[in-house]
Structure 1
């Protein structure tokens, strides 16, 4: 017997998706503009280059910065529109079919996985911390957690009642989960790059 869906109008999630979408889109736009600047003038310095460690240029000009054959920020320019639209639609009392949430979760899962890969590449291969990239990390991580937990607690993903209850409880802890994730990234970066000694 299918589980009854609940939380059909998650207002807090909607507001967060709008905020995260706007911040993520702005970060992607800023990185895109920096990429255009570097393409027009190879000798130019990106405005987000602060030191050898904290910079955008190395990331933008690496193969990791154009994994799919075009600059990664273009993915952000298109992808971050979805959370904004979904957020406003929820506030407008729209109700999405389960298949829509499955696709949306799939997109957020891809974004999360891609960000995790980019973090590893940035720290272990490029030895840099890109400011606008980090802004993207900051909003992608909690957005994934929030969407995943919502689909679990609402019964969109068929799971036992205990799992739904756990997801409901964890929903209020998304900020802490995000902070814990940031702390793990910061510790890894410090151990690998000695960030505190090489910021400027």
Structure 2
């Protein structure tokens, strides 16, 4: 078994970098939520324009879908990739069930992000883009893709040596796959952006 397979340094580094960025975005949203609670009329730094802001998202029911502010999920959730990334660099070997659980967590994360993207664009009470939320989306997408490829190559999905070898070749395609997903999200934003712009102009007129 190769060293790359037993100790995926690149994957570990990415988990650490992604978790730090994701945690920082969640932290900023948490601070903005505190400011909003103290002063509902406060002009948050993330409120760039009518269409790009986080205040409306934080104040919506989507912003606390589980009964508490969503940023708390980010503050706690991004700790998992950080710990796993550090452990991977340290040479820790996790059992198959652990990787399966980690993969389940990342699947929940990408599903939640997909739902938030849809809500931000198409929910009648939102229709705005949150800067810190978009940073979270941008980090979660490649982290999910890289994790799925890693689970395929480390034997979590299948113990077949042939399957694992083929999966190992897919990691170099994660950046391209990420760009393609970004393109889809940007296209949705552009299409929805035209509708939002029309609504804004209509309100002014």
What TM-score, normalized to structure 2? 0.89
Query: How many angstroms does 1:158 deviate by?
Result: 1.6
Q: List gaps (5 residues or longer) in structure 1.
A: 1-5
Who is 1:52 aligned against?
50
* Structure 2 Cα separation of the partners of residues 179 and 49 of structure 1: 26
* Structure 2 Cα separation of the partners of residues 197 and 41 of structure 1: 28
Who is 1:176 aligned against?
176
Which protein, 1 or 2, shows the higher relative CO under an 8 Å CA cutoff with sep ≥ 6?
Answer: 1
Deviating beyond 3 angstroms after TM superposition, the runs of 4 or more aligned structure 1 residues are 159-166, 195-198
What TM-score, normalized to structure 1? 0.91
Query: How many angstroms does 1:192 deviate by?
Result: 1.2
Gap change, CA 1:159 and 1:191, over 3 Å in 2: farther
* Structure 1 Cα separation of the partners of residues 159 and 56 of structure 2: 43
* Structure 2 Cα separation of the partners of residues 44 and 87 of structure 1: 38
Gap change, CA 1:53 and 1:162, over 3 Å in 2: farther
Alignment size in residue pairs: 193
CA RMSD of the aligned region, Å? 1.8
Q: List gaps (5 residues or longer) in structure 2.
A: 199-205
1:79 and 2:77 equivalent?
A: yes
Who is 1:17 aligned against?
15
Structure 1 residues 60-71: aligned runs within 5 Å: 60-71=58-69
The answer to whether the Cα contact below 8 Å between 1:189 and 1:195 also exists between their aligned partners in 2 is no
* Structure 2 Cα separation of the partners of residues 83 and 195 of structure 1: 37
* Structure 2 Cα separation of the partners of residues 8 and 71 of structure 1: 38
The answer to whether the Cα contact below 8 Å between 1:152 and 1:159 also exists between their aligned partners in 2 is no
Query: How many angstroms does 1:66 deviate by?
Result: 0.3
Gap change, CA 1:159 and 1:128, over 3 Å in 2: farther
